[in-house]
Amino acid sequence: KNEVEQSPQNLTAQEGEFITINCSYSVGISALHWLQQHPGGGIVSLFMLSSGKKKHGRLIATINIQEKHSSLHITASHPRDSAVYICAVRRWNDKLIFGTGTRLQVFP
């Protein structure tokens, strides 16, 4: 079993839909990252959080430390949100462990 599990693996949505991507982890962490990867490989950090909730524009990330679970929400999705979203947890030795990613496609 992977230490970081994401669901779903693939997600298709119509423009305007509310989207949720889930991440569960089984190890102790100091922080959790949500990352976005576009075709071509570049990775952009969306959020780093260790408790509660963060919001940036149409993106919201939440984490429940007790349940070892985090969610990434996208409100009013748009085709430009199409990308792979990766959850990564930071161990106390600063190493990142990544999930396999959720491929999101938003159609007009």
Partner 1 sequence: DTGVSQDPRHKITKRGQNVTFRCDPISEHNRLYWYRQTLGQGPEFLTYFQNEAQLEKSRLLSDRFSAERPKGSFSTLEIQRTEQGDSAMYLCASSHDGQAYEQYFGPGTRLTVT
- Whether residue 103 contacts residue 97, with contact meaning beta carbons closer than 8 Å, is answered with no
Beta-strand runs (E) in 1-108? 4-7, 10-14, 19-25, 31-37, 43-49, 52-56, 59-64, 69-74, 83-90, 96-98, 102-107
Determine the interface stretch with partner 1 among 12-20, 21-29, 72-80, 84-92 (rule: CB under 8 A): 84-92
Question: Which residue from 108, 95, 102 is spatially nearest to 37, judged by alpha carbons?
Answer: 102
By CB under 8 A, the count of residues binding partner 1 is 23
Of 17 and 69, CB closest to partner 1: 69
Binding to partner 1 (CB under 8 A) within 10-69 occurs at 31, 33, 35, 40-45, 48
Of 64 and 100, CB closest to partner 1: 100
Interface residue with partner 1 among 39, 66, 67, 94 (CB under 8 A) is: 94
- Whether residue 19 contacts residue 74, with contact meaning beta carbons closer than 8 Å, is answered with yes
**Structure token pair of residue 87:** 């959850």
Determine the interface stretch with partner 1 among 19-27, 63-71, 72-80, 99-107 (rule: CB under 8 A): 99-107
Kindly list the residues in this chain that would bind partner 1 in the complex (CB under 8 A): 4, 31, 33, 35, 40-45, 48, 86, 88, 90, 93-101
